[in-house]
Each structure stands twice: as C-alpha cells, then as structure tokens.
Structure 1
Amino acid sequence: MYKDVLQPVATNSESTNRDKAIVTIRNGSKEYTMKEKPSSLVPQHAQPTWDTSCYNYYKKKHLKSQREIQQIGCDSKLPKALIIGVKKCGTITLTQFLDLHPQIETISGLVFNPHVFVDDWVKQMPLSTTEQITIVDWPEYIDDMKLLRYISNVIHDLKLIVILRDPVKRAISDYVHVSVMLRTRPDLKQLATYRYHKRTSQNITVYKGYEMLGNFEETITDNHGNLNTSHLFIQKGIYIKYIKNLFQNVDGNRVLIIDGDVFKKYPLLALKKVEKFLRLSDFFMDKHFYFDSRKGFFCANVTGREDTKCMAANKGRSHPKVNDLGMKHEKSISMISGVQLIGGGHVM
C-alpha cells in the first residue's frame, strides 16, 4: 500500500495540471510526491453563509435557541476528517481557522474510546447541519496507529490531515511549551518527579516522559555530548516513522500532508488545499487573514465570525536562542526526521 501511495517526483515535463503535488517527501536519496485529486472531481457549491448554522457567533460561539435548532435541522454526526498531528506543528491553529468555513464544525482534543458504541461517539460531536461536516483534531492520534486504524475502519469515508514542520523548530517549541507549563501550572508541576543528573550536577525534571534540564541544549544531549535521539523532544520529530506507519495502515487517498512552516507564513494556501481535499465550497480568500506584526503571526478577519481572531495567547511564544551546542545538533535532528518538506509556491 505504501509504495502505491508515494510516487517518484515527476520532472517539469511530466507534471500536468491533473497531477499536482500536495507534498514532496525526501527520505535519504529518494523523493516521493503525494498527488491530489483532479479539481474536476470537486463539486461546485454556491458560496456558503452562516445564516443556517446551528450557532451564533457574536463575540463568543454559542448555540442558537432550541426552536431555531429544530427549524434548521441540526444534529450530531460522525466526523468526516481528523487532524492528527504532529504535536507543536500547528494542529490547533489549523483547526481554528478551518472552523471559520461555513461548511465545517470542529471539536478539539476529543479522544475516541474504542470500547464504547459508535452512538456514544456521535453524542460527543458538535451540532451541525446537513450541509456541514465535522472535523476533530487531536495531535496525539498519530502516536496511536492501532486506534487510528480502528477509527478509519469504523468511519469508512474518514479523511486524515497531517501537519508537519521543521523538526528543529518543533523540538524547541515543544521544549518551550513544557517548560512554561511546568513553571506556570503548580498542578502540573506536582505531577513531575526529579532525579540527580551527574554530568550537569542538576536535578532532571521528569514530566509525562519528558526529561528537562536547565536549557534546551542540555536537555537533548546525552552524557557524552551527543544528540540524545531517544529523547521525546527528538522522537516526536522523526516523521518518517509516522508517515510509513500511516500509509501502511490507511489508504493514501484519504491522507493530506501540510507543511506547517508554509501554513504559518501563508495560511490561505493550506486552507485552499484542505477545501479541495474535503470537497468543500471555495470559501477562504486573502481578505480573511491579516498579519499582526506585533504578535508575529496571521489572524483571522472573517465577517460574521468575531468569535475567532488570532491564535490563543499561549501560541507563538518566543523561542530561546540556540547556542553552539544546539546549532551542532540541528543538522542531526533534521536528518533523523527522515522527511524533508519542500515548501514554497503552491507545494505543501
């Protein structure tokens, strides 16, 4: 199945409008390109609006009255797509922006329990109309292929969206996130354990499998000064293990891979890819997003959706400068990821 999904990159003379790349993956000396479906397969819809949604969006998203919900015909249903990670690659922001599409209802952080009836899954879904689809995001899904395969077998037309980014940036972002959580959340800090680290004469903080030292460089380095490839910050950036496992278990036509670094700089490009992949109406436009120079990232500006503006306050945190030791390991981290996302232009 894996070899049927990934194909060698075509030369310019071989490329056609019918055969555009969603993402190019480089593994060693080999390159692979995933193909998107021809645009002619995407049904044409009238421009969607918020008039028939199950929710009101003034300042905060909230359900309409029971009478309006019944008139509209709102109901809960199984998702048509999962955004499955990887952690700290932009999963939540992608979900927030997709929720601005009138044909999409989203829910974040929902973990499906394989030991309950499917009807119980449905009860956890947001209300939606017959013209809408539901999308669930949870960046840890990609770590549990057994559960993901089970969900895909239950929901036969389910599509999967994977967002990846530069593995070095991902590792640093993950380190900053865990550090801030332990520093600002006493309840989480109480869950951590500690042990002495002889090389640095410091205590190692152990939290949910993460071992934290004084700074990023010391955290990812072993006792001999080499990159600790077994560290969780590094392991989560070895994307090739996820990609291979995914395509060995799920039909590749149901998978879309997005470059998270391109998404951060040009969110519209990624959102248009998702629209086409999910066969939705052509909704997102340039005017829906603007760059906030103070925050350092894009914010939404969709009329009628004042409930969603920018990423959450805990997103877009500044990263510490990496010293010479960290710089030494950057190339190693990139190499062991096994995947090189070739962004730019319309390629993701």
Structure 2
Amino acid sequence: MIKKPNFIIAGFPKCGTTSLFAYLETHPEIFIPQRKEMNFFSYPIIKNLTGGEGDKVIVGTQVSTWEQYMSYYRSVKNEKAIGDASPSYINFPDCFSYIKEKLDNPKIIILLRDPIKRSYSNYLHLYRVGREKLDFNSALLEEENRIEKKYSPMWYYKRHSTYYDKVIEAQKAFRDVLLLTQEEMNKNPGGILKQVFEFLEVDSSFVPPNLDVMYNKGGVYKKNRITNLFLKQSKTKHFLSQNVSLIKKLKPLKDKILSSFEVAPPPLDKQSEDFLIKHFKEDVKKLHKLGVNTSNWNQNYFIE
C-alpha cells in the first residue's frame, strides 16, 4: 500500500519554499517527491483561472487526479516524514477540507516573507519570463481587473502577499502548523532546519549538505534570443519540465549560460513601496501579534 503524505509545505509562493524543499529532500528520514508544486489539492480551483498570458500552459501541467498524485509516492520506503511541497495551497483555504479528507491531518509548514518583497519577487518572475508587460506600479493597479478576468494566482501580487487570514484558517483546520519566515531561514538556516526537523519528528542533528546554497534566487536577464530560449514558457518546455531528472541534469548548464546575461533588477520604486506599506500595514501588525518574527521586515509598517 502506498503511503500518503503526512506533511505539507503549504506556502507562501516566493517565500523560500524551494530552498526548504531542497534541504528537506537530503534528509534520510524524509521523503518528498522530486517534483515540487504538484498543486493537486488546489487544482479544482486553479484549473478555472487561465485568463492571463501563459496560464493555460501551466495549468495543463498540474497534477489533476488522485491516482496521478499518489504515483509520486510509490518509492516511499521507511521514511518517517512524507511531504508535498505545493505553496499554492495556503492561498486557497477552501482546499483545506479536501486535504483533510484525503490525508487526514498532515503537519503544515508555512513560510512567510516581507510582503512587499514577496510581491515584487512575484512580479519580477513574470517579467523575467516575458509574461508581465506592465511596470510594477501599473501591475499593482491592474490586479483587481486581472482577478475579475480570472487570471491565474501567479498574477496576484498584493492578494497573495496578505497572509494573516489564511494563516488563521490553516491553524483552525490543522492541528500542527509551523510558521517560519524566509528572512529567518536566510539568516540562520541551520537553526531553522533543526526546528523543522523537530517539528517533523525526524533526526534533528542532521545537517543538509547543501545548506549554504540559496535556491530559486530569481534574477533579471538581458532580453535576447538566448535568454528567451531558456525563459520564455511554452507547452513543450512545460511538458519536459515534468521529467525532473532531466531538468536537474540540465540546470547547471542553464544557470551558467543565464548568469552571463544577468543584470541588476530594476529597484522597487518609491511610489509602489509607499502604496504597499499602507496596503499591508494592518495585516503585518496582526501577524506580529500572532508571534511571527517581523524584525527583518520593513519597519515602516509599524509607523503611524
């Protein structure tokens, strides 16, 4: 009988979930499929959100059936902790009941990040792959219109950087919820990983051999035929991306080539920053009262 996941990295996107995933998969007592972001439990929602450029291509690659989902766990052996890293889940609390129906009561890990930085990182990702054509401030103003047009969640720069209500919903739905921040993990990866291992009830003395590596750092590249070849999304690329072993083999070459075209990302403009400070202020204050470590976030959230 195939064992089911008993923990989930449930969110938030662009908050260090790729790094956490990469560290956890090195632990001998943890099994996590090489494929990240299967998004099975949020699929019934996101399958209908395809209004933006490139959305249909990505939705078409998501795990859509229980049989397909469980096939990723066939090689589980005696590992104590079995995981699913799909950071879309936290943004759709409606899928929590589906998770509980199928997995009972898995442990939930939630990573947060200064919401302004998460918003801008999300924007830069879509800008980098050629889907986002607007400047950041214009994109923020266009967000509600995009939501009405059923763009995919990847375009929700503000909405998916508002954490408090979703965290509360997760705490109500699940017994064991661990809240961390990307800033804490960047500053003290060893200490945070020890905390995660204790939460998952695996050997907490284990030190991941890749702990000095920060994954999915993002970046912006000069636009030319070579960078377009690597970054522009297509059905063929997304089909190939499901071959995880192939992608892992090709990634060092891809990173080496792209690094020669890397340029500094455009700085966050003051108008957008001021707008977002005001937008996120109350949410951040509530998170702080909840016990989230906001000491490394923009302190202007707390200025009246």
Q: TM-score if structure 1 supplies the norm length?
A: 0.54
Where do 1:120-131 residues align within 5 Å? Answer: 121-131=69-79
Aligned equivalents of 2:97, 2:24: Cα separation in 1: 24
Equivalent residue in structure 2 for 1:87, among 4, 13, 36: 13
Per-residue CA deviations over 1:42-99 (Å, capped at 9, x if unaligned) read xxxxxxxxxxxxxxxxxxxxxxxxxxxxxxxxx7421110101111111122111111
Matched, 1:169 2:117: yes
Equivalent residue in structure 2 for 1:142, among 78, 90, 93: 90
Runs of at least 5 residues in structure 1 that lack an aligned partner in the other structure: 1-74, 184-188, 190-204, 206-211, 223-227, 297-306
Counterpart in the other structure of 1:321: 267
Aligned equivalents of 1:239, 1:318: Cα separation in 2: 28
Counterpart in the other structure of 2:137: 217
Query: 1:286–1:247: structure 2 CA closer, same or farther, 3 Å change rule?
Result: closer
Counterpart in the other structure of 2:206: 284
Shift of 1:317: 9.1
Contact 1:104 1:135 survives alignment (8 Å)? yes
Matched, 1:152 2:100: yes
Query: 1:167–1:242: structure 2 CA closer, same or farther, 3 Å change rule?
Result: same
The two structures, once aligned, show a CA RMSD in angstroms of: 3.8
Aligned equivalents of 1:136, 1:286: Cα separation in 2: 19
Indicate the structure (1 or 2) with the bigger Cα radius of gyration. 1
Per-residue CA deviations over 1:154-174 (Å, capped at 9, x if unaligned) read 323411111110000000000
Aligned equivalents of 1:157, 1:243: Cα separation in 2: 16
Task: Point out the more displaced range, 136-145 or 277-286.
Answer: 277-286
Per-residue CA deviations over 1:203-231 (Å, capped at 9, x if unaligned) read xx6xxxxxx52x21232247xxxxx9998
Equivalent residue in structure 1 for 2:178, among 236, 247, 256: 256
Where do 1:233-312 residues align within 5 Å? Answer: 233-251=157-175, 254-285=176-207, 289-290=211-212
Shift of 1:123: 2.5
Amino acid in structure 2 at the alignment position of 1:135: G
Percent sequence identity is 22
Per-residue CA deviations over 1:254-300 (Å, capped at 9, x if unaligned) read 111111111123221221111010111123338753368xx89xxxx
SS at match of 2:178: strand
Counterpart in the other structure of 2:293: 342
Query: 1:175–1:131: structure 2 CA closer, same or farther, 3 Å change rule?
Result: closer
Contact 1:167 1:337 survives alignment (8 Å)? no
Q: Matched residue pairs, number?
A: 223
Runs of at least 5 residues in structure 2 that lack an aligned partner in the other structure: 45-63, 149-154, 219-247, 297-304
Aligned equivalents of 2:8, 2:207: Cα separation in 1: 23
Counterpart in the other structure of 1:106: 32
Contact 1:262 1:343 survives alignment (8 Å)? no
Query: 1:319–1:158: structure 2 CA closer, same or farther, 3 Å change rule?
Result: same
Aligned equivalents of 1:286, 1:147: Cα separation in 2: 31
Shift of 1:180: 1.1
Aligned equivalents of 1:133, 1:245: Cα separation in 2: 23
Aligned equivalents of 1:232, 1:131: Cα separation in 2: 36
Kindly indicate which of the two structures has a greater share of residues assigned to strand: 1
Shift of 1:140: 0.8
Q: TM-score if structure 2 supplies the norm length?
A: 0.61
Amino acid in structure 1 at the alignment position of 2:37: G
SS at match of 1:82: strand
Aligned equivalents of 2:21, 2:108: Cα separation in 1: 13
